[in-house]
Amino acid sequence: MKKLALVLTVALGACATAPDSQGPRVKVTPLGSHDGEFCPFDRALVFEDPDGTRILYDPGRTVRGPDDPRLGKIDAVLLSHVHGDHLGDIIQPAANAGACPKPDFSVNVTPNSNMVNISLAKQAPMIVGGEMHSFFQAKVKSLGGDPNKLVRLVRFGAQTTVGKVMVASVPAVHSNGLPPAFLPKEQAAALGAAGLTAYVGPPGGFVLRFSNGLTAYLSGDTGITAEQDLVVRGHYKANMVVMNIGGFPFTTGPAEAAYVVNDLVKPNSVIASHANEPATVNGKLVETSRTAAFRRTARMPVHVPLSGRTMEFDGSGRCASGC
């Protein structure tokens, strides 16, 4: 009897931790500045649902415009907030330009922004919260696009769907001033001279629920918030997290981010994000990096988003391949 109990325990334990090797998977592909590395400005990820829906999150500086061949078909673009490293003020002239610690972002894409250029070219709606929608509607209109088609507002508490993917807006506690560079010249000059940004409402994060059950929390730029416990885990039951670990002086660093995943959201796996450091050399994690410190402290698998390497997640939030 004792032996049977032991066998059962071991079998159940295995079921609880092993990824589902048979079920449908969501593909997650990081679009960073340097192939096979995790570099300081890497934020962008493409999520692909088993139904083929492809969602781009925070294109930032490392997606090389709408013609970047890594994009392929894009059905929607999510933006957490309007800072230049997420909306995209400058981009790389070519793949791997510059070095991972200091990428070459010599192509200026203001005042349009990288995201708006991508949304227009792909005819993919951007999904934004706060009061960002009215700014983007005006910008899309000025560039000849259809603001009703290309700009979708989703504020905290609300959700929308893209294909079979549910996209919910959750809070981030950060800042969300629009840098003057995205404004017309006269306005930019006046605000810039006063050291001010333009108000576009609060920043946010997202929860995505895919058709296989994978429920991913994308933290955006944030500190520790009570909603990570009450809403992200409590209500949405996120089982995977894309977590900002960048630290001082902007957002959660490795210790705070570890608290968020260990004690608040408690997912089955995590993708580290927004490291603000060259976290890898030749695709290997640098042991003295913030990313490595986070990985040591987190109590679940932490995956390093190597640019161009596709990771596949099962419905329980575990990485089934590519990690």
- Residue 86 or 133: which CB sits closer to Zn ion? 86
Neighbouring C-beta atoms of residue 18, cutoff 10 Å? 12
**Least distance (Å) from Zn ion to the CB of residue 192?**
20
Q: Which residue has the tokens 């001010």?
A: 196
Residues that bind Zn ion (CB under 5 A): 85, 221
How far is residue 9's CA from residue 100's CA, in Å, rounded to a whole number?
A: 46
**Least distance (Å) from Zn ion to the CB of residue 57?**
12
**Least distance (Å) from Zn ion to the CB of residue 15?**
38
Residue nearest to Zn ion (CB): 221
- Residue 48 or 85: which CB sits closer to Zn ion? 85
> Of 126, 194, 110, nearest to 160 (Cα)?
126
Q: How far is CA 270 from the centre of its chain?
A: 12
Please check whether residue 220 is in contact with residue 129, taking contact to mean a CB–CB distance below 8 angstroms: no
- Residue 150 or 172: which CB sits closer to Zn ion? 172
- Residue 88 or 315: which CB sits closer to Zn ion? 88
Please check whether residue 214 is in contact with residue 291, taking contact to mean a CB–CB distance below 8 angstroms: no
**Least distance (Å) from Zn ion to the CB of residue 86?**
5
Which three-class secondary structure state does DSSP give residue 238? coil
- Residue 37 or 85: which CB sits closer to Zn ion? 85
How would you classify the pairing of strands 269-273 and 280-281?
A: unpaired
Q: How far is CA 14 from the centre of its chain?
A: 30
The amino acid occupying position 203 is: P
**Least distance (Å) from Zn ion to the CB of residue 246?**
7
